[in-house]
Amino acid sequence: MKTILTIGRQYGSGGREIGQKIADHYGIRYYDKELVAQVAKESGFCKEIIQREDERPTNSFLYNLVMDTYSFGQSAAAAFTDMPLSQKVFLAQFETIKSLAEKGPCVFIGRCADEALSERDDVLNIFIHASEDFRIARVRNYPEYIKQEQRDTRITDYMAKIDRQRQSYYNYYSSGKWGRVETYDYTFDSSILGIDGTVHLITQLIDDFEAR
């Protein structure tokens, strides 16, 4: 396998599990939470800071203002120094994703990896979504939902909150729109065929993509 796969996902749709199974199927690297350690290693930021800022929304006006200054290059060092921490973490993560992609085929979960790798032609960008009932059944067993402080939260409200965070993060940092079909190469409803069925479908797609 030579393809790099990026997976955006609706909360509870099984995107992480699908990505892991695809990586196992091909014997390639998988980056989700593992990316935190890589970013920390390459950037010098501690893991706790990266975890705190991971896929968190930011202020779009401040981001655009800082990035406009940064992109001109004439005062890049000064612009980076003045950046909010969330932007520094994003840029470090952005560069780490590109660096890891240079090492060969792998699977990236979320974190605007499709945007970071937009100039490559060996990347498939997909989005996983699912029916509400399917997602509820999965999220009920998620450790982060079971925690005491979230037991009084309606599960649908909790899912919507996580997806809003992902949407805000992606829409601020990416040129596309989170979850919109035109943003991705393919979108899949994992509640139709289930996790394993969706994995099988995507691996067939990858094989066809490489056989072009």
Q: Who has greater pLDDT, 114 or 49?
A: 114
Instruction: Please say whether the beta carbons of 195 and 14 come within 8 A.
Output: yes
The pLDDT of residue 185 is above 70: yes
Q: How far is CA 18 from the centre of its chain?
A: 13
Confidence band, pLDDT 50/70/90 cuts, at residue 49: low
Tens digit of each residue's pLDDT (9 = 90 or more) over 85-107 = 777 878 888 899 999 999 999 99
**CB 25 within 8 Å of CB 145:** no
Q: What does CATH list as the number for 4-57+94-210?
A: 3.40.50.300
Q: By CB neighbour count within 10 A (0-12 exposed, 13-18 middle, 19+ buried), where does 103 fall?
A: exposed
Is it the case that residue 53 has pLDDT exceeding 70?
A: no
Cα of 171 vs its chain's centroid, Å: 12
Measured between alpha carbons, how far is 8 from 32 in angstroms, rounded to an integer?
11
Give the least confident one: 48-52, 65-69, 175-179.
Answer: 65-69
Q: Which of 5-9, 148-152, 180-184 has the lowest mean pLDDT?
A: 148-152
Residue 32's Cβ-count burial label (10 Å; 0-12, 13-18, 19+) is middle
Instruction: Decide: 126 and 187 in contact? Cβ < 8 Å.
Output: yes
Indicate whether 149 pLDDT > 80. Answer: no
C-alpha 36/C-alpha 207 separation (Å) is: 29
Write down the pLDDT at residue 70.
Answer: 46
Residue 71 has pLDDT above 90, yes or no: no
What is the pTM assigned to this prediction?
Answer: 0.84
Q: Parse the chain into domains and list their residue ranges.
A: 4-57+94-210
Check pLDDT > 80 for residue 198. Answer: yes
By residue count, the chain amounts to 212
Confidence of residue 69 (pLDDT cuts 50, 70, 90): very low
* Share of residues in the chain with pLDDT > 70 (%): 77
Instruction: Please report which residue ranges of 60-188 form alpha helices under DSSP H.
Output: 60-72, 76-82, 85-101, 113-116, 132-139, 143-146, 155-173
Q: What is the structure's pLDDT at 100?
A: 94
Q: What is the mean pLDDT of residues 18-31?
A: 98
149-159 average pLDDT score? 79
189 membership: H or E segment, kind and range: strand 186-189
